[in-house]
Chains A and B, each alone.
Chain A
Amino acid sequence: MAMQLQCKNLVLGYEKNIILQDLNFTVSNGDYLFILGENGSGKSTLMKALLGLNAQISGEINFCGDTNKNQIGYLPQQTITQKDFPASVREIVQSGCMNRCGLRPFYNKQEKQLALDMMEKLEITHLAKRCYRELSGGQQQRVLLARALCSARKMLLLDEPVTALDAKATHEMYELIANLNKKDNMTIIMISHDIQASVKYASHILHIGGKQLFYGSKIDYMNSKVGQAYFSSSGGDIYG
């Protein structure tokens, strides 16, 4: 399998305060990587660094092969809360197609259709004309997910995608992402606190806490000390 992303001796932090160090991992085409760790362990920081939003203190982040940033989709952890931003759901979902346009000024037919399809998929078609800031938290999350799906062609990075969703939507969301991963061979990198889901869906696991505590396949993780400690401390039943 072709390697898509590689991190070498990566050190991350803010203003010289080191939050994470010794990160060494690779992501290959079609992987489904779960990033686990406690609150404040630096998961979001890591994801932002992968996306080029935060500069690293040292080390390397390399996209390899034919993967580039124009083929990435991203769901941020915080939903944007600019108070009076006038933007309709449709405008926002469509803006996910921006990275397909290059210098072309307007969206073409396929891109508009893609936005409609994604809204359909996330069951927000009826909200298309509504103002984003007047939606509920879960609805806003679906809108941003639809946008992320529009921009993802090879890789999808999700920062706690199910936090605001109800049980049914959570399940559907996981199935949707698993489907993208299997059918469209989309690489998934997901931050989550949901242990059951990681056991069920992940192919690889990256566990962080100050440094890289574990990186490897799911099976190896479940048999590792770190993994078992994490599972028992969070009361999860690994084989459930």
Chain B
Amino acid sequence: MAELWQTLIYYFQFPLVQYALIVSLLIALCSSLLGVTLVLKRFSFIGDGLSHVAFGAMAVSASLHTVITIENDMILVLPITVLSAIFLLRTSQNAKIKGDALIAMISVGALAIGYLLMNLFSNSANISGDVCTTLFGATSILTLTISEVWLCAIMALLVIIIFILFYHKIFAVTFDENFATATGVNANAYNLLIAIITALIIVLAMNLVGSLLISALIIFPSLSAMRIFKSFQSVIICSSIISVICAGMGIILSILYSTPAGATIVVADIAVFLLFSLVSCFMTKRAHA
């Protein structure tokens, strides 16, 4: 135990480790904030599709490295993902097109194209390693560069501020979109806002858990919170606390046992979900007794 503690202290002497932890906590906070809305609006599948698009965009950016130098992959990944988010939202609202089929097409297509591009153009020696990193997150969060850390921190803060400012509107639009529209609230604009923030969060979270595991980071904390809490506000607060704690635990465990950070965080989220499900079962049993 003392030895583990020593290791931990040793690692946290490095500023980059500290930054990485802070950024992970911020990302976890953001993704849980919006998770509740995405789950309730049945948008979680959009999040899943978007994460694959982000992977494809990442691959495009990586293969462009051979032609031009790109300071930061996000310059390309971010706009592509945001545009796809807007597109997916538009089509899912249009009842005439089979929205779910289209999303499946786009997300699988993006995966295939991304993998192909990486194989064709990447000059890296370890392609499958690169692919694995993009899909499941860096094996160690410590490989984040300082510019990525700053960009993440700024975007995360932006998302949190937007969420707080639009909290009541997001609630109104999530709870009853028809009522909001009928009484003159511009629900479409807020849906658009939600889609854009989702895209931001997905691009952010890609660094932490990789594109395949993002949905878990978004939905697990909110599903856990919804097991026990019954008001929107308490669910939001609870899910952000769960998410932050799980991310912190996951990072620390991954450093101690050198496990992949993303997967460790998601496993922590799953454990909390199971725990909360048990507690809620127990509570309903008691209520009936």
Q: Do A and B bind each other?
A: yes
| Chain A positions near chain B (C-beta within 8 angstroms) | 48, 51-53, 68-74, 76, 80, 82, 84-88, 91-92, 94-96, 98-99, 101, 105-107, 129-131, 134, 147, 151, 157
Residues on A with C-beta less than 8 A from B169 are: 98, 105
Q: How far is the CA of A147 from the CA of B176 in the complex (A)?
A: 11
Q: Return chain A residues, CB-CB under 8 Å to B232.
A: 86-88, 91
Binds A, one of B22-30, B207-215, B223-231: B223-231
Residues of chain A contacted by B229 (CB below 8 angstroms): 86
Residue numbers in A under 8 Å from B164 (CB-CB) = 105
Q: Are B181 and A98 in contact (CB under 8 A)?
A: no
User: Given A86-B234, A87-B231, does the pair A68, B184 have CB atoms closer than 8 Å?
Assistant: yes
Contact B184 A85 (CB under 8 A): no
Q: State whether the Cβ of B166 lies closer than 8 Å to any Cβ in chain A.
A: yes
Out of B166, B183, B225, which one reaches A72, CB within 8 Å? B183
Can you report 20 residue pairs joining A to B where beta carbons are below 8 Å apart?
Answer: A53-B181, A71-B184, A72-B183, A76-B176, A76-B179, A84-B226, A86-B225, A87-B171, A87-B231, A91-B171, A91-B175, A91-B233, A95-B171, A95-B179, A98-B168, A98-B180, A98-B183, A105-B165, A134-B230, A147-B179
Binding site for A on B (CB under 8 A): 36, 40, 164-169, 171-172, 175-176, 178-185, 225-226, 229-235
**Neighbouring B residues of A129 by C-beta, 8 Å:** 231
Given contact pairs A86-B235, A91-B233, A131-B231, A105 touches B167 in the complex (Cβ within 8 A): yes
Contact B179 A70 (CB under 8 A): no
Chain A minimum-CB-distance residue to B238: A86
Q: What's the Cα separation between A76 and B178 when bound, in Å? A: 9
Task: Known pairs A72-B184, A91-B175, A98-B185; list 7 more (Cβ under 8 Å).
Answer: A73-B183, A80-B175, A80-B176, A87-B231, A91-B171, A95-B171, A98-B168
B175 partner residues in chain A, CB cutoff 8 A: 80, 85, 87, 91-92, 95
Contact A95 B172 (CB under 8 A): yes
Least CB distance, B103 to chain A, in whole angstroms? 21
- Taken together as a complex, chains A and B put the C-alpha atoms of A82 and B226 apart, in Å, by 13
Q: How far is the CA of A146 from the CA of B285 in the complex (A)?
A: 33
Interface of B is mostly: helix
Contacts of A73 in B (CB 8 A): 183
Find out whether the CB atom of A95 lies under 8 angstroms from the CB atom of B168: yes
Chain B residues whose C-beta falls within 8 Å of the C-beta of A51 in the assembled complex: 181-182
Expressed in whole angstroms, the Cα–Cα distance for A98 and B183 within the complex equals: 9
Q: Which residues of A contact B36 (CB under 8 A)?
A: 86
Contact assessment for B231 and A52 in the assembled complex, using a CB-CB cutoff below 8 Å:
no
Task: Flag if A151 contacts B168 (CB, 8 Å).
Answer: no
4 closest A-B pairs by CB: A69-B184, A131-B230, A88-B231, A51-B182
| Interchain CA distance A74-B172 in the complex, whole Å | 14
B259 CB to closest chain A CB (Å) equals 33
Query: How far apart sit A17 and B285, CA to CA, in the bound complex (Å)?
Result: 50
Tell me the minimal C-beta distance from B227 to chain A in angstroms: 9
Report the separation of the CA atoms of residues A80 and B229 in the bound assembly, to the nearest whole angstrom. Answer: 19
User: In the complex the two chains form, what is the Cα distance from A94 to B101 in whole Å?
Assistant: 37
Bound CA–CA A107/B167 (angstroms) = 11
Contact in complex: A70, B231 (CB < 8 Å): no
- The CA of A48 and the CA of B178, in the complex, are separated in Å by 9
A82–B40 alpha-carbon span in the complex (Å): 8
Chain B positions within 8 Å of A76 at CB level:
176, 178-179
Closest to A74 in B: B182
In the complex, the answer to whether B168 meets A106 with C-beta atoms within 8 Å is yes
Residues of B within 8 A of A72 (CB): 182-184
Chain B nearest CB, measured from A139 CB (Å): 15
Contact A69 B178 (CB under 8 A): no
Write the nearest CB–CB distance from B60 to chain A, whole angstroms: 37
Q: Determine how close the nearest CB of chain B comes to the CB of A12; give it in whole angstroms.
A: 16
Q: How far is the CA of A51 from the CA of B184 in the complex (A)?
A: 9
What chain B residues lie within 8 Å of A130 (beta carbons)?
230
Closest chain A CB from B129 CB (angstroms) = 41
Q: Are A151 and B183 in contact (CB under 8 A)?
A: yes
In Å, the complex CA distance between A147 and B175 comes to: 12
What residues on A are CB-neighbors of B167 within 8 Å? 105
A86-B234, A87-B175, A88-B230 are contacts. A70–B181 as well, Cβ < 8 Å? no
| Cα of A80 to Cα of B185 in the assembled complex, Å | 18
Which residue in chain B gives the minimum CB-CB distance to A68? B184
Known contacts A98-B169, A106-B168; decide if A53 and B230 are in contact (CB<8 Å): no
Which residues of the other chain, B, contact A99 by a CB distance below 8 angstroms?
183-185
- Residue of A86, A134, A151 with highest tally of chain B CB at under 10 A: A86
- Chain A residue at minimal CB-CB distance from B178: A53
A13 to chain B, nearest CB (A): 15
Cα separation A71 to B182 with both chains bound (whole Å): 10
Q: Provide the bound-state CA to CA distance between A129 and B233, in Å.
A: 11
Report how far A91 CA is from B175 CA in the complex, Å.
Answer: 10
Residues of A within 8 A of B178 (CB): 48, 53, 76
